[in-house]
Amino acid sequence: MIPGILGKKIGMTQVFGPEGQVVPVTLLKTGPCVVTQRKTPASDGYDAVQLGLVEFVKASRISKPASGHLKKAGVDGAKYQRELRLGRGDRDLKPGDRVLVDEFRPRDKVDITGVSKGRGFAGFVKRHHFRGGDASHGSMFHRAPGSIGGSSYPSRVFPGMRAAGQMGSQQVTVRNLEVIEVDADDHVLMVKGAVPGPNGGYVVVRRAKR
């Protein structure tokens, strides 16, 4: 078994399940990936593989040290590289080995990690689902936070108080998504449900930890 695979989000659509029910799905272009480095307990203190997502990359976009590293594994271009820990039951992979999506089967469960869509500096209502006030009828209290602490006691704001700030553009993992279909010819993985990030965003697909 492979611990996981790297991919790119294509987009969402819907398909029909065996009982005719509508299933919302996300398509992922997963792989082909190549093992670019093998980390072993002897040399690195832990067991892992470094995968690179094989795709067309202009030669000038890869630095010379990086291209040398890739050449060792026999890859021309890989912009997206991530390390996956090897556990029990995982196949022993060597540098240069290809990791393909056909090792996943329908009904498998996967965890998918990506970088969520950036929302910029977002206010309370959008970021924490605070309710805000009435928009009209002379309310004068629209999307403001309200009280964030007492004035005489505690006369400070408690740490961790939810506030406005950067929302999105952070790493998010969605766990236990079901694999619906695997298209080995086009390297496409179809999972049930939504996946973090925009279309075209990079994702890591791991076997579900449960």
Partner 1 sequence: MQTALLAKVSNKYRRTDLPEIRIGDTIRVHVKIKEGDKERLQAFEGMVIARKNAGLGETITVRKSSFGHGVERIFPLSAPVVDHIDVVRTGRVRRAKLYYMRGLRGKAARLRERE
d(CA 75, CA 148): 54
Of the candidate spans 37-45, 84-92, 134-142, 180-188, the one that interacts with partner 1 by CB under 8 A turns out to be: 180-188
Sheet strand arrangement including 33-39: 78-85, 48-54, 33-39, 98-99
Q: Is 194 in the site for partner 1 (CB under 8 A)?
A: no
**Which one of residues 96, 133, 150, 200 is an interface residue with partner 1 (CB under 8 A)?**
200
Candidate residues 5, 6, 10, 205; the one interacting with partner 1 per rule CB under 8 A = 10
Least distance from partner 1 to the Cβ atom of residue 76, Å: 18
Q: Are strands 171-183 and 188-192 parallel, antiparallel or unpaired?
A: antiparallel
Q: Does position 188 bind partner 1 by CB under 8 A?
A: yes
Minimum distance from CB of 19 to partner 1 (Å)?
A: 8
Give the integer Cα–Cα distance in Å for 139 and 8. Answer: 46
Closest approach, Cβ 169 to partner 1, in A, equals 22
CA distances from residue 97 to 39, 46, 60, 71 in whole angstroms, order as listed: 14, 19, 25, 13
Torsion over CA: 30, 36, 40, 43 (sign): negative
* 145, 130 contact by CB (below 8 A): yes
| Cβ 177 to partner 1 shortest distance, Å | 17
CB of 14 to partner 1, least distance (A): 6
Q: Near partner 1 by CB under 8 A, which window of 24-32, 114-122, 124-132, 136-144?
A: 24-32
Q: How many residues bind partner 1 (CB under 8 A)?
A: 17
